[in-house]
Structure 1
């Protein structure tokens, strides 16, 4: 099977699973082909082939001038309670979280509404009000903690005081005064474990590549530097705003890392790792021979030309756990407050190579 054949089949499988899980319910419009191509780092022709497969399976239909829509008959709605779900993005990272949520709520006979805030605090507040007005019995929220009126701590207190139970997903307060229930990936452990994985392969000078701003970047950074210090290693860091990332930015990043003697890098997130891999190829460097790479998020890491090892947050488990906690809270309001961190795994692929002869000796 060719590389392009593999990419389109993987994308078709991913979309098919998301439709089955109820992430894209009947009647909903899929992202446009250019949006899917961008979010999955594949060509538009690859997306078109994947969608054509779904059309042939009568999962979706193309409507001239309107887009691609999920056909009815693939998901059943059940009765009560009604759960509101607010995420910042339905195209990247969160589809598998939503799949886990849908799985638990369907098994419990619950209905749910999904809204996307687009990382906009004002829009998020509007979505919260609309879900309460619609009669939501509980809320699962990925809150936007950059820019809310009064600051993050005040916003979390206001969420905790809503008239229905709220469980936060992939966000939490940073102090012991945090009053909210939450289920999050232990991103500090993710950064920490990535460095230790590279150290076991013999790397002593490791780079950290960050996209900012992101509420996840800082805990990843803390874990990364904690591990480097424990191992008595060396590190270099490169960061750029999400919208600044481009092939030229990746070239600058690579030059900076190489100047510091970096032999491996942890890249937050997948797209930055893909861009850095391409920059290495342009520079005549091999991956993993000259530069080993670990991506972060594991959304599209497996689709890279050289499949990327990646820190993989347990997204589906996050969704399942958060939904379970919320249903528990609705049934038993006096339960002890739960603030849970789930440690991510490392999906090992081809971008790190096997253990080197210069393996770390204690």
Structure 2
């Protein structure tokens, strides 16, 4: 027998009052209603302040007496994740997200952009069309953040969105999105401070062109100024980007060799550790001893420990970034992780910007282990 609208509303209120929170799909199935009809009923009840809506769930209004609800289940949820690649840096980011999503009983689906123009939005549409309830997005923004007018598609999504290893400047519409990222500026500053603690006053920064580079430069410059270190001539790649990997290595090599020979450089931070592994043998072939003549700290710590001269490295906690982003998105979808208090306290309206600090791993290349 079909229930009258008032009867439906009464039954919805009874179930939500009894259980505290219910997923819309579960409630529709229990009442034998279509999801479309139930959503209309929930909207009407929410407009009267009788229930609250949370992405995909119905909850009893805060402040009203009700039973303590169990954490909403993530069972059946699909989390879409768009990343440039699943190799190198992003392998651990994806791994952290996947472990968290699957531990909650949900499923992770992946879209790859390969840094191709417009592919981020295309992969997002594809994931949504195949049932994604929320999105973890790492857009292919060259500087790690959108240029003016860029990235508006990320803001226009109707599903919850969490930016991963990306950010947006104040005033940009995407600045209001949830985000989780490594604090690369802090990581670079920690490297500068460590080298300064070893007695170095002239520290160079050699970075490849990547979304990470702008934040490394911010942290490096801030630390050099704060510690009163000697200014060092900038890498020639600052003004004229490299044309190829070979060009990047040759020009960086010349820059560091000239800095050491002139006495203007005694230490360097090199991004990435793969670049450092290529550069150090070339420096040694030119008579520059590491760490005696040039102390080196690499950035990323993907393969730094495997170098024949183990590299001191700044290590972003990529798996933690992926896991934290997944927990935040699941909380937006109404599925709290009982082992993650931060997810339970996020709430539907409290946007969050989480910066996870990298760690500094001391090995031989900076000279600290030798001393």
Same fold (TM over 0.5): yes
1:104 to 74, 87, 100: 100
The yes-or-no answer on 1:209 pairing with 2:223 is no
Please show how residues 267-278 of structure 1 align to structure 2 within 5 Å: 267-278=270-281
Q: CA deviation at 1:239?
A: 5.1
2:285 to 258, 277, 282: 282
1:209–1:266: 8 Å Cα contact kept in structure 2?
yes
Q: CA deviation at 1:153?
A: 4.7
Q: CA deviation at 1:336?
A: 0.2
1:228 to 211, 224, 234: 224
Counterpart in 2 of 1:251? Answer: 253
Counterpart in 1 of 2:358? Answer: 344
Alpha-carbon distance in structure 2 between the residues aligned to 1:269 and 1:101 = 23
Secondary structure of the structure 1 residue equivalent to 2:274: helix
1:81–1:110: 8 Å Cα contact kept in structure 2?
yes
Counterpart in 1 of 2:186? Answer: 189
Greater Rg over alpha carbons, structure: 2
TM-aligned CA distance change 1:242 to 1:304, over 3 Å: farther
Alpha-carbon distance in structure 2 between the residues aligned to 1:316 and 1:169 = 11
Counterpart in 2 of 1:163? Answer: 158
TM-score by length of 2: 0.70
Counterpart in 1 of 2:304? Answer: 301
Please show how residues 19-38 of structure 1 align to structure 2 within 5 Å: none
Alpha-carbon distance in structure 2 between the residues aligned to 1:262 and 1:115 = 43
TM-aligned CA distance change 1:132 to 1:242, over 3 Å: farther
Q: Please say which of residues 312-321 and 231-240 is displaced more in the overlay.
A: 231-240
The yes-or-no answer on 1:82 pairing with 2:78 is yes
Please show how residues 68-79 of structure 1 align to structure 2 within 5 Å: none
Alpha-carbon distance in structure 1 between the residues aligned to 2:182 and 2:278 = 25
Unaligned runs of 5+ in 1: 1-77, 358-362
- Cα RMSD after superposing both structures: 2.3
2:257–2:288: 8 Å Cα contact kept in structure 1?
no
Residues 91-117 of structure 1, C-alpha deviations (whole Å, 9 max, x = no match): 110101111101101111111111211
Alpha-carbon distance in structure 1 between the residues aligned to 2:359 and 2:92 = 15
1:174 to 169, 173, 187: 169
Aligned positions, number: 277
Q: CA deviation at 1:291?
A: 0.9
1:236–1:260: 8 Å Cα contact kept in structure 2?
no
Q: CA deviation at 1:79?
A: 5.3
2:206–2:252: 8 Å Cα contact kept in structure 1?
no
Q: CA deviation at 1:250?
A: 4.0
